[in-house]
Amino acid sequence: MTVAVLSDTHFSGRGTVLPAPVAEVLRRADLIVHAGDLADLDLLRQLQGFGAPIVGVQGNADDEIVRGLLPPSAEVDLPGLRLGVVHNGGPEAGRLERMRRRFPGCGGVVFGHSHIPLHQVAPDGFFILNPGSATDRRRQPRHSMVEMTVSDGAPPEVRFLAVDDPPGPLPPELVRSAAT
């Protein structure tokens, strides 16, 4: 199963249409996970137009309509993995264990808010994942998202993608992996 993972796609002067490399990933996804800050109903409708089911949560920059449509957190069962989703993972210190406690039945948690790509994996395989932002990179050198492949009996394969020009894999040195 291929999961497209996004967060913080509120547009910051880049127009109101998702960049072509993002759309390409969304077209091939079996599931779209959005960790909040879609901002408005137009973007939610754009995501729905790709045809894959969407698991989304509300973020602090979402308008009232989006907040009314999306929960503050969610959990979804994937092949071999229960995944939690929330917008704000809180302070960096202790985040992995805090997310583990907040989502006790999950093998991983996707979050956003900081716009900083991050993948942290505990020795037992539990992980936290922030895809960065595909449309508002802030101080990051590239716009990013994640394409994750999940299957029963194997750890998820997480690929960070740079979705600006030129698109392609996000260089590993641009992905934070906090110490466990």
Amino acid identity, residue 64? Answer: E
Q: How many structural domains compose the chain? A: 1
Q: What is the pLDDT of residues 59-92, one digit of tens each?
A: 999 889 989 999 999 999 999 999 999 999 999 9
In a domain, 76, yes or no: yes
Q: What is the pLDDT of residues 154-176, one digit of tens each?
A: 999 999 999 987 778 888 888 98
Domain span at residue 12 reads 2-174
**Beta-carbon neighbour count of residue 160 at 10 Å?**
25
Note the pLDDT of residue 180.
43
In 3D space, the residue among 37, 46, 35, 33 whose CA is nearest the CA of residue 12 turns out to be 37
Sign for the pseudo-dihedral over CA of 113, 79, 175, 124: positive
In a domain, 179, yes or no: no
> CA-based diameter of the chain, in Å?
42
Q: Which two tokens stand for residue 52?
A: 């894959």
Percent residues over pLDDT 90 in the chain: 74
Q: What is the pTM of this model?
A: 0.93
In a domain, 11, yes or no: yes
In a domain, 75, yes or no: yes
Note the pLDDT of residue 58.
95
At residue 11's C-alpha, the angle toward residues 146 and 43, to 5°, is 75
Note the pLDDT of residue 14.
54
Sign for the pseudo-dihedral over CA of 75, 116, 157, 1: positive
pLDDT band, very low/low/confident/very high, at 178 (cuts 50, 70, 90): low
In a domain, 158, yes or no: yes
CATH number at residue 170: 3.60.21.10
In a domain, 95, yes or no: yes
DSSP 26: H
pLDDT band, very low/low/confident/very high, at 145 (cuts 50, 70, 90): very high
Q: Choose between 16 and 89: higher pLDDT.
A: 89
In a domain, 49, yes or no: yes
Tell me the C-alpha distance between 134 and 114, whole Å: 13
In a domain, 71, yes or no: yes
